[in-house]
Amino acid sequence: MNLEQAVMQIIVGAGNARSLAMEAIDIAQSGEIQEAKAKLEEANEKLNEAHNGQTALLTKEASGERVEVTLLLIHGQDHLMNAMTVRDLADKFVGLYDKMRGN
């Protein structure tokens, strides 16, 4: 996998994960807690896809192959960290909405 492919895997996976996590919050707010939890699982799967792109680059670097740090790579890393934060917060929101409904 070349740099551009890995970065695009990170960006696409992270973007999809963030969107799914935000959907989970909206769904939980409407009272569909199990559906919200399912969306969070989908978000986790997309984050894993993004993480696989990151791991490919880290593996190259660790094996002695230089990975060029480009603006696109930084953008991808920013997307990944943002998606991870949103997913973590969405998990908390879903839990709070669940408690508010007495579960």
CATH of the domain at 93: 1.20.58.80
Asked if residue 58 lies in contact with residue 77, where contact means CB atoms within 8 angstroms, the answer is: no
| Residue numbers of the domain that contains 20 | 3-100
Could you report the per-residue pLDDT of 9-48, keeping only the tens digit for each?
999 999 999 999 999 999 999 999 999 999 999 999 999 9
Q: What is the pLDDT of residue 17?
A: 99
Find the helix packing angle between 3-29 and 33-62, rounded to 10°.
Answer: 160
Q: What is the pLDDT of residue 102?
A: 84
Q: What is the pLDDT of residue 62?
A: 94
Could you report the per-residue pLDDT of 62-76, keeping only the tens digit for each?
999 999 999 999 999
Catalytic positions are: 75
Q: What is the pLDDT of residue 103?
A: 73
Residues recorded for the chain: 103
Q: Is 78 annotated as a binding residue?
A: yes
Asked if residue 31 lies in contact with residue 67, where contact means CB atoms within 8 angstroms, the answer is: no
Q: What is the pLDDT of residue 101?
A: 87
Q: What is the pLDDT of residue 77?
A: 96
Q: What is the pLDDT of residue 1?
A: 83
Domain total of the chain:
1
